[in-house]
Amino acid sequence: MATTLCAKLLPKLVWTPLTQSVRHGSKAVTRHRKAVHILRQKLLAVTEYIPPSHAIPRGAYPDKNSQVQQDSGYVLLLKKSLKKLFEENKMIAVVQNSASSAEDMTLLKHRLFKHGITVKFIPNQVTRSFLKDSIYSNMAPLFIGPTVLFVSKEPKVNGMLSALRSSPQMTLLGACIDNKLLSVEGIINYSKLPSMTVVQGELVSGLTMLTSRTTLLLQHHPGHLCALLQQHIKQQSPETIAEGDSTAQEAK
């Protein structure tokens, strides 16, 4: 612009001045990212926006990010199978195995299968989320670390204990037998219990003991019975006389 003006004002000049001050500065809109001036940089740094921390007190509203995670299809399948397991099987034992080898596992599985016990591997997270919704929520603290489930329809505790004794690194933690949670001591006591028929027999014999004794008595000769009854009366009467004496003495 200046050069054109000069050209018009001094049209007769052939010689253009040596130094020509060009007064157009750098452009504002550039194709590259223009370097921000240090003063502007400082200003922007000082005037940055700092949002207020905790405008809403914590706990006043539920967390935005804590949406209930929907279970994937596989997890739902596992949960269904778990539910079936708990319904069908009377005994469910939880065992921790600190990395036994594959051979040991197959041997153990074989030994347990002979007693009708199957071995199940289920991820702990799935079992825990299943248990906290069901009635077996007290079992949940057992499922930490590498755990295996032993399930069987009939509670064959002796077989399980003998199989576990042979593998040293399997640790029995607890079991749910007939919907009752048992610890290790409880399991051992359960294994020492006699079978159901034996227990019923003992109960019946205990209840009928008195009646059987009376029948035995009645089956004796009647003369013998009379003598027994007379003896009984004699024994009764001195006791009453003795009681009368003691009460008389107390009254005195």
Partner 1 sequence: MFDVTVPETNMAASKKATVVLKAVKKIMVQFSPFESNVRSTREFLAIVGSEKARSTNMNCEVLTKVKHDKSEPIVDVTFSDGERLLMKGANLTGREMLSAFQSRCIAKDPQAQAAKKK
Give the footprint of partner 1 on this chain (CB under 8 A).
Answer: 96, 98-101, 138, 141-142, 144-146, 168-169, 171-174, 183-186
CB of 90 to partner 1, least distance (A): 21
Cβ distance to partner 1 smaller for residue 116 or 145: 145
CB of 119 to partner 1, least distance (A): 18
For residue 220, CA distances in Å to 109, 131, 142 come to 62, 64, 62
Cβ distance to partner 1 smaller for residue 82 or 164: 164
CB of 58 to partner 1, least distance (A): 25
CB of 79 to partner 1, least distance (A): 23
- Burial (CB < 10 A; 0-12, 13-18, 19+), residue 53, is exposed
Mark out the alpha helices in the chain (DSSP H runs). 2-9, 38-46, 73-88, 102-114, 124-133, 157-166, 184-192, 196-207, 209-219, 222-251
**DSSP letter (8 states) at residue 57:** P
Cβ distance to partner 1 smaller for residue 81 or 96: 96
Both tokens of residue 233? 């009366």
Cβ distance to partner 1 smaller for residue 85 or 172: 172
